[in-house]
Amino acid sequence: MRLDVILRVVTKMILPAMLLFAVYVQFHADYGPGGGFQAGVIAAAGFILYALIYGLGALMRLVPVALVEALVPMGVLIFAGVGIAGILAGGDFLDYSHLLHDPVHAQEWGIFLVEVGVFVTVASTMLAIFYAFAARGRR
């Protein structure tokens, strides 16, 4: 499969579109369908496609296993951190209204940060599981 010219060229063409779509789904979730879950999975699928066509080694050079495994708890920490920041700012846990002076603006920021946390954990968990499966088969 790795020598197949058509697959390699087509992958090169659609990968940027896939990753861009993941970013769009992530940041356009305020106005349309989407959010951290969907965007994380789409981004992970893009990386997995890269590994399927160009080989696992190429992806491991691009996204090291240690980085992926560090990002798995990082997303949960971002989410919980925003919640705790809400307490420190004078509200309840996960109450974003007190983060900034304007409650509506603070809500927008809180939701944005929380979605980033969701994205990080979902994408890196999918990649970590893929790595675990793929590396096992290669040995």
Partner 1 sequence: MLLTLLAATTVAVVRVRSLFAVAILSGIYSFLMASVLLVLDAVDVAMTEASVGAGIAMVLMLGTLHLTKTEEARPTHSPLLPLAVAATTAGVLIWGVTGLPPFGAAATPVHLAGPDYLARSLAETGIPNVVTSVLASYRGFDTLGEITVIFTAGIAVLLLLKRSPRRPGQDG
Q: Kindly determine how many residues on this chain lie close enough to bind partner 1 according to the rule CB under 8 A.
A: 53
User: Is residue 38 near partner 1 by the rule CB under 8 A?
Assistant: yes
Cα dihedral 96, 100, 105, 111 sign = negative
Q: How many helices (H) and strands (E) does the chain have?
A: 5, 0
Q: Are 49 and 18 spatial neighbours (Cβ–Cβ below 8 Å)?
A: yes
By CB under 8 A, what part of segment 108-127 binds partner 1?
Answer: 108, 110-111, 114-115, 117-118, 121-122, 124-126
Binding mask 86-105 for partner 1 (x = CB under 8 A): -------xx-x------xxx
* DSSP codes joined into one string, 52-77: HHH-HHHHHHHS-HHHHHHHHHHHHH
The string of DSSP letters for 111-138 reads HHHHHHHHHHHHHHHHHHHHHHHHHHHH
Nearer to partner 1, 63 or 134 (CB): 134
Dist. CA 25–CA 40, nearest whole Å: 9
Query: Is 37 a binder of partner 1 (CB under 8 A)?
Result: yes
User: Based on CB atoms, which residue is closest to partner 1, 8 or 108?
Assistant: 108
The residue ranges that bind partner 1 (CB under 8 A) are 25, 29-35, 37-38, 41-42, 44-45, 48, 69, 72-73, 75-76, 79-80, 83, 93-94, 96, 103-105, 107-108, 110-111, 114-115, 117-118, 121-122, 124-126, 128-137, 139
